Structure 1
Amino acid sequence: MDTSLIDQLNDKPSRKKLLYPVSRELSAYLKHQGREVKLPVSHKELLNFTWSVPIKDSEGNYTHWEKAIYDKREWDFLKEGLVKIYAILKTEGDMTFADQLDVARIDFCNFGNSLPFRIRIINKFNANFDHYYMKITDASRIYGLEMEHILSPNRITFYTDGGTLVEEHIPGLPGDVFVDNYLDLPETNKTRFAKEFVKFNERCFVRLLGDMRSYNFVIVSTPDIEGYQYRIRAIDFDQQSYEGRKSLYMPQFFKENNRFVQTVLTHLNKESIEQYKAEERSAMAFRVAAGRFRLMELLNIMSRDEIAPPEKQKQLAEQLNQHFHTAAFNRCNSMGQILKLHLKYMLRENLKLIQEKTRSLKKPVFGPVKRS
């Protein structure tokens, strides 16, 4: 992990990200993959709340969320539809258990680019609750969600319907909460956590997922035979292949993640860091090989789509040229083409080893990489 720029780096993600429409090709892909469904409630209809009440956390601090209040007629309509959407997310639309479910609360966040609503669904018999989110559709975010599903160790459920995007809740402790309240606890295995942060950092860079500041990912702790294992999961996919600065695709360079970086430097040596980066690239290469047809279909559509301003695209191509000591990225005409070529450069050696072992990939997944 390169840490030479940690303290002096001033780069920041874009304050307000542009939203990009879903193209016909991407819409057709979503239908083919079962991601496009008819939803009984739209994001636009959720905006019809009468007023809102700020929500505080357990310590009495204000959050970015507000409880949305609706008139009774609107509330009755929304409740029925939102329970159906939960059934679509969890049971493919099977309404057998709908009678025991209710909507406990609808929260709104005007801080996010996609104007997200957080829906709390509660079981009326045992008071257990779950959440999901409804947002404005954005092509960048949809590409990010699909890349997460294909290239990460996690699977994720989401659906679209016109201008509405529905996502399942990703459980875990927000990174900023973890660093403040859990990182220094005696039971936290900092070496294992440092290993996971290195892998997460590598995974974000390989797939060009930007803006992974501590509050945009969660930490999942799993009890193991001895101690805990950790996994870091992204929860914000708005800046998939959107930024122009290479450093914004590396969580290590955000000041919000400095304590995580210091944990890595304290508990891992250079050789271990390189080992864990290699392990993550190898795991991603296996996922590429397993899902190569779906991935290539998505990348080909993304290559013809516009999901970032031209100046950001040009800047990223220049910085990746410098990173890989090549001029190949000059030939890229879209962020999709940049990501496709970047995956080639990052994973080609691992994919070559997989090909040699299995002999099932008759041709390289991404085609040959021309060296400049």
Structure 2
Amino acid sequence: MTPSTALIVLLSTVLGHAVRILLSPSSGSAVSPVVTFTPNWKKIFIGESMTMTCDVGSTGGGDLTYTWIKDGKWVIHTGRTFTITSAAPEFSGDYSCRAELFVKPTIIGIQYPEVEGDHMTLTCDTSLSPLRPRTQLQFAFYRDGRKVQEFGSPNQYGVQSAQLEDSGSYSCDVRTSDGKVRNSSHFLPIVIKELFSTPVLNVSATEVLEDDSMTLTCDTSLSPLRTGTQLQFAFYRDGRNVQEFGSSHQYGVQSAQLGDSGSYSCEVRSSNGKVRKSSHFTPIVIKGKSRTDNTPIIMAALLVSLLVAAFLLFMYRHKLHRCPHQRRGRQPQIPPTHIPLIHRAAMFQFCVIAPQNRIPKLLRLIYMIWRILEAQATSLVVLGSVVVTSRSSGMETFYV
């Protein structure tokens, strides 16, 4: 019988029930145990005691890890020996004994991270059997069932600057160099918290006009676990740096121009540069200042024009003012100064500039309205002045 072959020993019968001891080495183990039992009787009866021993053929076997399994379903005892003090029918069954080459590994957090940027070191802890002290073991590490470090001789897995994505359930596997013996650890949950929140870029005004001042603020908050951490801030426009990293969390433009429009963002980092986070892009459009809106003035001028036109039409139809030079042979005269300015201008247009016998009535009315508006504009510019018009040789001259 070779050491790697399972040994089945028929001990005896207990009230007609077969009692067998099944000895098998652990999966691929280099250590092949042998079962011995005391007393070495062929028959065991109800009430008698029996001790089974998992022997590896060496006095150093006591340093191994032993496992006893009944009917291949559950572990009933751990240790080199297993004793039945009072035999009973329910103890009948198939018993197996395994001697482990190395103990079940345990994953331990040597340097346990709390927040982003912390160093993390995990150790896969196990111990070899003194019978095989020179056995080469290999270690692998997993996060959420995915391998993060391939099998190798180091029994540690380290992350220099832990990030949020490094959170998860970690475990490790240990195997011999030939891969025949392999065992896994339990799971170790690791949760890494934020050092600071994702920054948010805020603008001082919802609408920025040309030549206005503009202030951008990069807002974030530190973890209460690291309140003393120094943060640095940088600002970007269209991906180009406009303010280098510094302690100020604001970027200001004293007089915004159209060229300052663009997509702005900010970046925050720890003083050692291990943790960096960027904000979302914020589009900012600098609007040009609108020129003086002449709409009210134009509307007022049109309204005045309509009123003047209505007034002149009323004057024309009812002949409220007679031209003083209608008698044949008299020269045109300038309206007297005691007549109000607007009436004077109307009389001047009727009597001097556009006599009825020279310009058709419709054209004369249009021309008259335009001249009155011109006279009104002049009177607005020079308040209190008197406009005197004379006509000589077909030329018009204005005196103030």
TM-score of the superposed pair, with normalisation by structure 1? 0.19
Higher relative contact order (CA 8 A, sep 6+): 1
Highest CA radius of gyration, 1 or 2? 2
How high is the TM-score relative to the length of structure 2?
Answer: 0.18
The structure whose residues are more often strand, as a share, is 2
